[in-house]
Structure 1
Amino acid sequence: MKSNVLKTILPLAVVAVGLTSAASTSSLSSKSVAQQGYQHIANPDSCNAVQQCDEGGNFNCKIGASSGSGAQLYDSNCVTPLKRSTNN
């Protein structure tokens, strides 16, 4: 009788722990974080802080993004292009 209880409850407990840890992990990745956007410039200080990019979407974070013709903004190292959640 004792082994039947363990055979039934133990797998259910393992599945429950797995589901709760998976749910908590996926909810962390959906948060957007505001990040300062930097523009490449042609002087010894190769980056210039311009505006905040929220990193929560698929639109390129640009200066004057409503027109779409502005310069692309990058992370503080001026290497990784930043994204934003809205097109404007």
Structure 2
Amino acid sequence: WLEQSFKNADIIYILDLPKYIYKFRIIKRFIKRKLKLEISKKETLKSLLDLLKWTDKFQNENMKEIVKILEKYKEKVYLIKSKRRLKKF
């Protein structure tokens, strides 16, 4: 389904921030939810660890596959590697 989605897209944005930023944001959100500063479902330490593991796996495995698929569509792809670059869009 990714292939067809990329083919049909006019523009493809890939958010490729450093891993520490993803992890920091996940942990920050977890803490806010635990302190009831953000409304959410019940958070557990296990759910936090699962999400961190999933994020690592996505970055290390899935993202590499996605990038390979995107080679065909490189004229449509905008790779965003920083917050500053993100603000330009």
Larger CA Rg, structure 1 vs 2: 1
TM superposition score normalised by structure 2:
0.23
* Greater relative CO, 1 or 2 (CA 8 Å, sep 6+): 2
Higher strand share: 1
TM superposition score normalised by structure 1:
0.23
